[in-house]
A and B are shown apart, each in its own frame.
Chain A
Amino acid sequence: MAELNVGDQVPELSVTPDKYLPHRYAGASGDFNPIHIDDEFAKAVGLPRNILHGLYSMGLVAKANAALAGGDPRALKRLAVQFRGMGMPEQEIVVSGTVKAVDGDTVVVDTVARQGGTEIIKNAEAEVQL
């Protein structure tokens, strides 16, 4: 594990969720809100199409940060996010982060998830034990 210092960029995570990802995530999570899995319903309530679950996108932010510790599920101690723009299936999501603080073996990473020009998760702060 390379040592991380304040200001370092952490490795990016790029994922393009396919058309059926919201259905698989709905099954995995138990959240079957039709705005995520029914394109017609989503359009009827004024959305451009069915949208990703915010907690799926938060899951990608968690994955990107756990990767700093080799994917160890014990490494992520805290994750705080704000949901903003809507995430869409079939468009690339890029999770990127910058080390904000280092305290012993624990780093705090400022993380953002973008889709094109939209920040779908902003002000995410992850505390990871390396």
Chain B
Amino acid sequence: MPIKTDAIGKEWPGTTYQVGREKIREYAAALGIDNPVHFDVEAARAAGFRDVVAPPMFAVVYSGPALGPVLFDPDVEMNFAAMVHGGQVFEWSEPVCSGDEITTSSKCLSIEEKDGKGFYVFETVSVNQDGAEVVRGTWTNIVRGV
């Protein structure tokens, strides 16, 4: 059966994430990142940030949930049991700080079959409350045995 490609080009509306200090601290601590700009408000302000600033890979926390409805969309029809996260790209713009409200929209860039595997590529674009882009993510999921 050929792989279902109906979702190519489809876009999904944004989901919103409210960034908080404790969540940034929890993420930085889990990664063993000890720069005080991720923990201490005064240190962050002294370094030119509005508030405690997120490490770059905190992007997965605010942008990842946007892919939930995408992966469950019937047009995508992905076999989760055989899915692995194959690749990831992030391109960062404005820093993300506590107090920011980040809205992430999604799009299906491509669905292709190669060597019996399905390659599903999605893009997320995250903007802050001022409309400034903060990160652009490209998520590649590989489904074996399509």
A: residues with CB less than 8 A from B are 15, 21, 24-25, 27-31, 54-56, 58-60, 62-63, 66, 71-74, 76-83
Chain B positions within 8 Å of A72 at CB level:
35, 47
- Enumerate 26 A-B pairs (CB-CB under 8 Å) in ascending A order: A24-B29, A25-B31, A27-B30, A28-B26, A29-B27, A29-B64, A30-B65, A31-B64, A54-B85, A58-B88, A59-B31, A59-B57, A60-B31, A62-B55, A62-B56, A62-B57, A66-B55, A71-B35, A72-B35, A73-B38, A73-B53, A73-B56, A73-B95, A80-B138, A81-B88, A83-B84
Q: With A28-B29, A83-B84 in contact, do A78 and B55 touch (Cβ < 8 Å)? A: no
Majority SS of interface residues in chain B? Answer: mixed
| List of B residues within 8 angstroms of A29 by Cβ | 27, 30, 60-61, 64
In the bound complex, CA of A122 to CA of B112 (Å)? 22
What separation, in Å, do the CA atoms of A55 and B32 have in the docked complex?
14
Which residues of B pack against A, CB within 8 Å? 23, 26-27, 29-33, 35, 37-38, 47, 53-57, 60-61, 64-65, 84-92, 95, 138
A102 to chain B, nearest CB (A): 19
Report A71 CB to chain B, min CB distance, Å: 4
Q: How far is the CA of A54 from the CA of B139 in the complex (A)?
A: 12
A24 and B30 within 8 A (CB): yes
In the complex, the answer to whether A71 meets B85 with C-beta atoms within 8 Å is no
Contact present for B90 and A78 (CB under 8 Å): yes
Task: Known pairs A55-B57, A59-B55, A73-B37; list 8 more (Cβ under 8 Å).
Answer: A15-B32, A27-B26, A27-B30, A28-B61, A29-B27, A63-B55, A63-B57, A80-B89
Residues of A within 8 A of B31 (CB): 25, 28, 56, 59-60, 63
Identify the 10 closest CB pairs spanning chains A and B, nearest first: A28-B30, A80-B89, A71-B35, A59-B57, A28-B27, A62-B57, A76-B56, A28-B26, A24-B30, A82-B87
